[in-house]
Amino acid sequence: MKKLVSLLAGASLLLASCAPADQAATKVTLVAHDSFAISDESIAEFQEASGFELEIIRAGDAGSLTNRLVLTKDSPIADVVFGIDNTFRGIADENGIIEGELFPVDYADVCFNYDRLWFEKRGMTPPASWRDLTKPSYNSLTVVTNPLSSSPGLAFLAATVAAFGEQSFEQYWKELRDNGVMVAAGWEEAYFIYFSGSSGNGDYPIVLSYSSSPAAEIRENGKSQTAALLEECFRQIEFVGTLAGASNPEGAKALVEFLLSESFQNTMPGLMYVYPVNEKAVIPAEWSEFGPAANSTMGEDLSIATHREKWQTKWSAIFE
Amino acid sequence: MFYWPIAKITSLGFSGDWLATLSEPKILEVIWFTLWQAALSTLVTLVVAIPGAYLLYRKSFPGQSLIKALITIPFVLPSIVVAVGFTVFRGVHDFWIEFGLTFLSDPIYWIIAAHVFVNYSIAVRTIGGVWSGLDTEIDDAAELDGAGRLRSLLAISLPQLRPAVFSTAALVFLFSATSFGIVLVLGGGQVQTIETAIYFSATQFLDLESAAALVFIQTLITAAAFLVGSSLAKGTVGLEQVFEGTRKPRVDKRDWPAAVVTAGIVLGLLVMPMLLVLVEAFKVGDGWGLRNFANLGTRGARDLLNISVLDAAANSLRNMVVAAGIAFFLGTLISWLLVRTRQKLLDLVFLVPLGVSSVVLGFGFLVSFNSSWFPLRSSWLIVPLAQALIALPMVIRLVYPALVSIGKEPIEQASLDGASSWQIWRFVESGMIKGVLLTAAGYAAIISVGEFGASSFLAYGSEGTIPTLLFRLIARPGEQNYGMAMAVSAILIVFVLLVMLLLSRYSRYKQA
């Protein structure tokens, strides 16, 4: 037992002794969701230009990230947050976790994709809008993601509320259910396991994904196998901002500026599959051709944070 | 490290009215479903694992260690890879549905099948480990008297194996009751267990009251499963030291029922999904080739990855050695101390964490530990340390019952002979439970290799591991990313296979 005690004591000492006493002046800490990516070159560039060392913490998906920041707001875990999106922004505002302003940093449009090849082979007409998906001709052809466990799922739920109103959006979902819609827990399963247009073995030719996804499905003939329905999509906007009570406000300011700069924004489509907000940033050529942003979007102006749980509960009741 | 985050979560939700939450019909339904699906998963796993344990640990045949290594792989496969692999059964599934077995379209049956897929090896190994230590003389005598295999199994072996079977049952029950990824992915997020319900209340709704109530219930179930398991598993088996390969009889014709069941499970349930993943890894467009693997050397399309797969594999290997070393050493030490002190309460304190959900733990870490708690965060050591912590209860859970089953006699005898504690351990105990120790080391190693939760928080940039690389790839659209993700899965499968094969080689070498 003695051995064990001394071992544990040793381990805790090891943990305790490494705590740096004063890091505020030299280091700036960024907390981000799991999908955040930054190249080594960008990190080096920021550190060189600002003189601050950059530390990155990841805190789950956008929901977990926001909730964690609410729970730890009395002793903030970082200086800057990246990745609170417009579906969770309300929670951040209500709880006062941000100092100053949240700046839009990137966006992505949640749109349905369809497998062009599948429809061509059968001589069928692909849907023109997601409103068509309840039609009998599209019976058992569509995969959506669960709005409780997936952010594009929640985005589309919000779009249906915007389209049909609080009172009658459930009707659309009931019709969708009766028309044999498949529900996947996450985007990965929906896209790679059930969807036929990518390289998985799926047999559903319509999937809820992003407007940019077809740019990743370009085949040897130089064309994309898939296309997106670009009307009435939901625009997910991600924000960056300084946390209230940040221990290095000066570094935070420099980091926010860097994340909005042309240099970093140029890397975002490649690393995170999102559109940069900086108009000077370069968008890859295949994105402009095969994965353009949506023509029209809806649902972003709803106060999603307030109503989310109610909508999700209604949705669950339909799909239980 | 375990209890603090959990206490923190529970205290955050403590203000609420637990009873009100717990008596909601929806919550009751979730609890009931969790219990019965775990019980059914456990039952099916045990039924198919007992013949497997017999063939793989009681008998000998060529290719045995390959199969032992092979069946362990599912234990570490990320749930998304399990889901990809399980698409291989779509054809069969559609056939059954056509055939009129429409109840099979319920995702629950997929979930249970996946639980068997994942837990088969742990059941085979823990039961087999004890079985290989049982005396064969009674079996032989019964056979001479004309008893069939099934009869000697029911009349002789099973009663002797009772402790092993029940402690295995408790383990599989816990893994099935707290499984998260499989329930979420195969259930489309529509099938709820306590674990997924905790996840949704805590991370999506910030409803800490419900989450805390559910955590409390889950902890109760965990503790109950252990108490029931250990009280049913009472009694010692009187193990004796066996030398693998020297005394085990060859498989003969009369073993056919066990062989059929085992071949069916291993080939039909376990190997097929893994084969599909391997096939996908070599699929390039409409043809075949190595492009997916070649792409991995280059950090992916447009530098999606910060690190090449070789570097990631090196990181995984390094983490594995450190994590498994720590977990194995500490776990064996704690088990040994538990046996010596015979403290029931202490027992529970170390065993309960195994049943505590990773979701709870992850969320607990999120709210409990700020940067001053993880001063090592900038060091690569933090990842294997966290992984060691995750693997530790598993090591204890495997080693402790084995040590208990040795009984007091051999130890008292040795100490009468004047042996020190170290000598008893070195020459008596460790020899008797060698198989179990090896299994424990193996699982500690592969838990580290497959671990994703802690690494995703703590290992980034150039510290990425094989699973973090996999998730990065599969979270992006595109044929190329999917192909690379499958290639990474294939590498993970081969990696685990090699680790398990090397371990069994090592043990045979030690014996020689």
Sequence spans of domains, chain A: 24-108+235-288, 110-233+292-318
Select the residue of B370, B456, B479 nearest A34 (Cβ to Cβ): B456
* A53 Ramachandran zone, left/alpha/beta (phi>0; psi -120 to 50): beta
CATH topology of domain A24-108+235-288: D-Maltodextrin-Binding Protein; domain 2 (3.40.190)
pLDDT over 50 at B158, yes or no: yes
Measured between CB atoms, does B342 come within 8 Å of chain A? no
Segment 402-461 of chain B within 8 Å of chain A by CB? 456-457, 460-461
The residue among A110, A192, A223 with the most chain B CBs within 10 A of its CB, best to mutate, is A192
Give the highest mean pLDDT range of A64-73, B16-25, B242-251: A64-73
Contacts of B475 in chain A (CB under 8 A): 35, 187-188
Q: Which residue on chain B is closest to A16 by alpha carbon? A: B375
In single-letter form, the type of residue at position B82 comes to V
Could you tell me what percent of chain B has a pLDDT over 70? 75
Contacts of A186 in chain B (CB under 8 A): 80, 184-185, 189
Digit-coded pLDDT (tens) for B100-153:
776 667 788 889 999 999 999 989 988 887 787 776 666 676 666 666 666 677
Query: A130 vs B436, which has greater pLDDT?
Result: A130
How high is the mean pLDDT of chain B?
Answer: 78
Contacts of B285 in chain A (CB under 8 A): 219-220
CB A83 within 8 A of CB A65: yes
Q: Burial, B318: exposed, middle or buried (Cβ in 10 Å; 0-12, 13-18, 19+)?
A: middle
| pLDDT band at A183; cut points 50, 70, 90 | very high
Contact at CB, B481 and A216, closer than 8 angstroms: yes
Contact at CB, A67 and B304, closer than 8 angstroms: no
Neighbours of B506 (CB within 10 A): 12
Residue with tokens 């056979």: B143
pLDDT attached to residue B303: 54
pLDDT attached to residue A15: 40
Select the residue of A188, A193, A216 nearest B87 (Cβ to Cβ): A193
pLDDT over 90 at B328, yes or no: yes
Give the highest mean pLDDT range of B19-23, B95-99, B169-173, B470-474: B169-173
Could you tell me the pTM of the whole model? 0.84
Question: Residues of A62-101 as b/e, b for ≥16 C-beta within 10 angstroms?
Answer: bbbbbbbbbbbbeebbbbbbbbbbbbbbbbbeebebbeee
| pLDDT band at B42; cut points 50, 70, 90 | very high
d(CA B195, CA B454) in angstroms, rounded, equals 17
Q: Which two tokens stand for residue A17?
A: 């002794």
pLDDT attached to residue B304: 58
pLDDT attached to residue B21: 66
**Closest C-alpha to B271, from B65, B85, B18:** B85
User: Residue B333 is inside which H or E element, if any?
Assistant: helix B309-341
The reply to whether domains A24-108+235-288 and A110-233+292-318 share a CATH topology is yes
| pLDDT band at A228; cut points 50, 70, 90 | very high
Contacts of A150 in chain B (CB under 8 A): 189
Distances (CA, A) of B90 to A193, B85, B104, B272, B350: 11, 10, 11, 12, 41
Contact at CB, B482 and A7, closer than 8 angstroms: no
d(CA A81, CA A162) in angstroms, rounded, equals 29
Residue range B52-68: mean pLDDT, rounded: 88
Contact at CB, B375 and A16, closer than 8 angstroms: yes
| pLDDT band at A14; cut points 50, 70, 90 | very low
Contacts of B330 in chain A (CB under 8 A): 4, 7
DSSP states along A17-39: HT--S--TTTEEEEEE-TT----
The residue among B90, B204, B209 with the most chain A CBs within 10 A of its CB, best to mutate, is B204
How high is the mean pLDDT of chain A?
Answer: 87
pLDDT over 70 at B34, yes or no: yes
pLDDT attached to residue A34: 78
Of A8-12, B122-126, B406-410, minimum mean pLDDT range: A8-12
Give the residues across from A276 on adjacent strands. Answer: A106
In single-letter form, the type of residue at position B5 comes to P
**CATH architecture for segment(s) B3-511:** Orthogonal Bundle (1.10)
d(CA B383, CA B463) in angstroms, rounded, equals 9
Select the residue of A16, A29, A58 nearest B460 (Cβ to Cβ): A58
CB B422 within 8 A of CB B361: no
pLDDT attached to residue B240: 45
Select the residue of B188, B377, B378 nearest A146 (Cβ to Cβ): B188
Query: B278 vs B427, which has greater pLDDT?
Result: B278
pLDDT attached to residue A320: 76
d(CA A89, CA A108) in angstroms, rounded, equals 16
The dihedral formed by the CA atoms of B216, B219, B221 and B223, expressed in degrees to the nearest 10: -140
Segment 105-144 of chain B within 8 Å of chain A by CB? none
Distances (CA, A) of B233 to A59, B116, B134, B285, B451: 41, 22, 16, 54, 30
Distances (CA, A) of B394 to B1, B174, B224, B387: 16, 11, 17, 11
Contact at CB, B376 and A7, closer than 8 angstroms: no
CB B248 within 8 A of CB B417: no
d(CA B508, CA B243) in angstroms, rounded, equals 9
Contacts of B283 in chain A (CB under 8 A): 199
| pLDDT band at A17; cut points 50, 70, 90 | very low
| pLDDT band at A21; cut points 50, 70, 90 | very low
Return the DSSP state at A75: S
Please give, rounded to a whole number of angstroms, the shortest distance from the CA of A129 to a CA of chain B. 21
Q: Which residue on chain A is closest to B486 by alpha carbon? A: A200
Residue range A231-245: mean pLDDT, rounded: 94
Q: Which two tokens stand for residue B352?
A: 């309960």
Measured between CB atoms, does B287 come within 8 Å of chain A? no
Give the residues across from A110 on adjacent strands. Answer: A210, A234
Give the highest mean pLDDT range of B105-109, B378-382, B438-442: B438-442
Digit-coded pLDDT (tens) for B340-371:
776 666 666 766 666 666 666 666 665 665 54
The residue among A35, A189, A273 with the most chain B CBs within 10 A of its CB, best to mutate, is A189
* B465 Ramachandran zone, left/alpha/beta (phi>0; psi -120 to 50): beta
CB B269 within 8 A of CB B116: yes
| pLDDT band at B11; cut points 50, 70, 90 | low
Phi, psi for residue A270 in degrees, rounded to 5: -65, -40
pLDDT attached to residue B347: 66
Residue range A143-161: mean pLDDT, rounded: 92
The dihedral formed by the CA atoms of A227, A229, A235 and A238, expressed in degrees to the nearest 10: -10
SS3 of residue A314 by DSSP: helix
Q: Which two tokens stand for residue A281?
A: 């940033």
> What CATH number labels A110-233+292-318?
3.40.190.10
In single-letter form, the type of residue at position B129 comes to G
Contact at CB, A59 and B87, closer than 8 angstroms: no
